[in-house]
């Protein structure tokens, strides 16, 4: 299902994701406006024909005329915005977001505004940030997760799914906030913790010349946006620490097998690893 | 420098690497023969025009007529072969290998044969094995490391480097056995330990649908040849355990920062990670 073409869409925060949303929607004929803090980003987005209108002001009329508001801000900035200006959002507007953690966000926002807030997580990050790097191609082959609570309506959920479809995501699915946070802790946050730890473990600039594909692939995400990820880690602390504990337990088990020369036990872990990895398959292509 | 075209080359062990060596060399006009344990692999290699001659026997005449013998066997099989038949190798032959660990191999082989053994590590593994998957394309963009000891001659080292050039490796370099093993423990073995531990940490078959590129990239190597890697880990135990210790220390540090909500400390680790990762750059292309 695609989004109704007559919707007035307002994007708040023109970064990598907000900009990519804007590009994808404007190119399909939607009316797209934006509020963002940097004037240069508005000028860039207008020049690139990514938006119809943009402002750095919290423009009451613009907010009231939006049928769909998409927040593309970091978690804390998003919560602060809602606290300060959430009352400007009309009751019949639908509000969504792109935040990478949910438990600490969704309920607070739903309690703070009268409009329906239907949360979503577009799993399409990149190592780069900012509106100038925005590109709807990052949605191809990626997952879009709609994260409703008991407070959401079927209409809100369907509209949010339609947004994911319209943006060009390969897979649109639905998960509750707690399941989402557990999943993201394991699949995304833990992998970033691992890559960062590996890069911090050893200062071997002389090793660059010997780096193979396995090291490069494993540490691709080690070039990390520290402002955003430190916030995401802390906002999902409990689930992340649980996954870090499970992982460290497996790592220590392998360590002890190596230390004790327990080859058959090592091989069993490797066989389990291979069998599970085969399920995950290769990189999706659109 | 390229290898002298008149050399008689004997490859012992026609697996993924032995087969890829054979293809690369035969296609450039070298005379290539092979000894391997499986008759079907010889037949396949002959049919594919990868070798001029092959046998499953330890053929004395073939071994004596070789100018260059390349061992492409697993570490223990290689050492066993040398112990049983090393005396068949003539003194003026040059012998090399593809083994992924060096300290536990190189000195033993050099003590066991009268010919010059100049060890090398072609860093070009794949998740697949066997002669039917062999393909010299795997050498493009990859590193070839020559691993000499005090016993090697300049001529032997130069010949081994020329082999790496001839095979089409992007970078040919020289490292001592201990430096090699420390490097490989960090860049290759530790990364495999991490990927295996991550896959063993959590049984979430339902998560497949949400897997993003970061998880897929990080666990690509989790589909692992357990026979070969368990052997490589044990043959390089000390260096590997050292690197695992350093890595776990960094991981625990990050864990504690998250647990204690020390955001600035987390950000410092992420900034260090980003700075180091930038040095390693992107995947090489040939």
> In the predicted model, what is the mean pLDDT of residues A156-185?
96
Which residue from A220, A234, A246 is facing B201, i.e. has the nearest CB? A246
Tell whether A239 lies on the interface with B, counting CB pairs under 8 A: no
| DSSP assignments along A261-286, one per residue | T-HHHHHHHHHHHHHHHHHH-S----
pLDDT band at residue A215, thresholds of 50, 70 and 90? Answer: confident
Tell whether B207 lies on the interface with A, counting CB pairs under 8 A: yes
pLDDT in tens, chain B (286 residues): 789 999 999 999 999 999 999 999 999 999 999 999 999 999 999 999 999 999 999 999 999 999 999 999 999 999 999 999 999 999 999 999 999 999 999 999 999 999 999 999 999 877 678 999 999 999 998 899 999 999 999 999 999 999 999 999 999 999 999 999 999 999 999 999 999 999 999 877 678 778 777 888 888 899 999 999 999 999 999 999 999 999 999 999 999 999 999 999 999 999 999 999 988 765 443 3
DSSP state letter for B210: G
Q: How far is the CA of B193 from the CAs of A240, B198, B233, in angstroms?
A: 20, 9, 9
Instruction: Determine the distance in angstroms separating the CA of A4 from the nearest CA of chain B, rounded to an integer.
Output: 27
Residues of B in contact with A201 (CB under 8 A): 186, 243, 246-247, 249-251
pTM of structure: 0.86
Give A34's strand partners: A11, A54
pLDDT, tens digit, for every residue of A226-285? 999 999 999 999 999 999 999 999 999 999 999 999 999 999 999 999 999 988 765 443
Q: Do A187 and B210 touch (CB under 8 A)?
A: yes
Query: Between residues 64 and 123 of chain B, which touch chain A (CB distance below 8 Å)?
Result: 123
Pairing of strands A68-71, A53-55: unpaired
Tell whether B217 lies on the interface with A, counting CB pairs under 8 A: yes
pLDDT at A236 (0 to 100): 97
| Domains of chain A, earliest start first | 8-175 (3.40.50.720), 180-280 (1.10.3660.10)
- Identify which has the larger pLDDT, A180 or B217: A180
What is the C-alpha separation between B105 and B202, in angstroms, rounded?
A: 36
Candidate from A188-192, A202-206, B3-7 with smallest mean pLDDT? A202-206
pLDDT at A210 (0 to 100): 84
For the purposes of burial, counting CB atoms within 10 Å of the CB of B204, is it exposed (0-12), middle (13-18) or buried (19 or more)? middle
pLDDT at A282 (0 to 100): 55
pLDDT at A150 (0 to 100): 97
The widest CA-to-CA distance across chain A, in whole angstroms, is 70
What mean pLDDT, rounded, does chain A reach? 93
Tell whether B208 lies on the interface with A, counting CB pairs under 8 A: yes
pLDDT at B286 (0 to 100): 32
DSSP state letter for B221: G
pLDDT at A283 (0 to 100): 45
Instruction: Determine the distance in angstroms separating the CA of A58 from the nearest CA of chain B, rounded to an integer.
Output: 29
Buried b (16+ CB within 10 A) or exposed e, A170-181: eebeebebebbb
Q: Do A196 and B270 touch (CB under 8 A)?
A: yes
pLDDT at B284 (0 to 100): 44
The token pair that represents A271 in the structure block: 């066989």
For the purposes of burial, counting CB atoms within 10 Å of the CB of A253, is it exposed (0-12), middle (13-18) or buried (19 or more)? middle
Q: Do A240 and B258 touch (CB under 8 A)?
A: yes
**Most A-contacting residue of B142, B170, B197 (CB-CB within 10 A), to test interface:** B197
pLDDT band at residue A206, thresholds of 50, 70 and 90? Answer: confident
Q: Do A271 and B226 touch (CB under 8 A)?
A: yes
Tell whether A207 lies on the interface with B, counting CB pairs under 8 A: yes
Which residue from A186, A226, A252 is facing B270, i.e. has the nearest CB? A226
pLDDT, tens digit, for every residue of B68-120? 999 999 999 999 999 999 999 999 999 999 999 999 999 999 999 999 999 99
Which residue from A215, A259, A278 is facing B223, i.e. has the nearest CB? A278
Enter the ipTM: 0.87
Q: How many CB pairs under 8 A join A and B?
A: 293
Contact, B30 vs B5, CB < 8 A? yes
Kindly tell me if the per-residue pLDDT of A31 is higher than 70: yes
């Amino acid at each position: 299902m695609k989004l109704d073409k007559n919707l007035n869409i307002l994007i708040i925060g023109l970064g990598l994701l907000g900009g990519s949303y804007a590009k994808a929607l404007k190119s399909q004929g939607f009316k797209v406006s934006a509020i963002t803090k940097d004037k240069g980003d508005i000028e860039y987005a207008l020049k690139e024909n990514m938006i119809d209108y943009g402002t750095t002001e919290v423009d009451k009329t613009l907010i009231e005329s939006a049928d769909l508001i998409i927040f593309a801000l970091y978690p804390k900035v998003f919560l602060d915005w809602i606290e300060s200006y959430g009352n400007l959002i009309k009751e019949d507007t639908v509000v969504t977001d792109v935040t990478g953690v949910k438990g600490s966000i969704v309920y607070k926002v739903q309690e703070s505004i009268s409009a329906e807030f239907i949360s979503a997580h577009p799993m399409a990050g990149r190592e780069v940030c900012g509106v100038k790097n925005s590109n709807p191609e990052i949605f191809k082959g990626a997952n879009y997760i709609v994260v409703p609570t008991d407070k959401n309506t079927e209409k809100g959920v369907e509209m949010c799914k339609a947004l994911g479809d319209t943006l060009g995501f390969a897979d649109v699915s639905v998960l509750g906030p707690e399941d989402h946070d557990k999943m993201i802790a394991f699949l995304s946050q833990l992998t970033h913790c691992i890559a960062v730890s590996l890069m911090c473990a050893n200062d071997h600039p002389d090793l660059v010349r010997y780096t193979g594909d396995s090291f490069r692939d494993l540490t691709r995400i080690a070039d990390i946006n520290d402002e955003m990820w430190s916030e995401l880690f802390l906002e999902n602390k409990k689930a992340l620490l649980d996954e870090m504990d499970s992982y460290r337990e497996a790592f220590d088990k392998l360590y002890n097998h190596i230390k004790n020369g327990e080859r058959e036990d090592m091989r069993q872990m490797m066989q389990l690893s291979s069998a599970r990895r085969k399920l995950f398959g290769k990189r999706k292509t659109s």
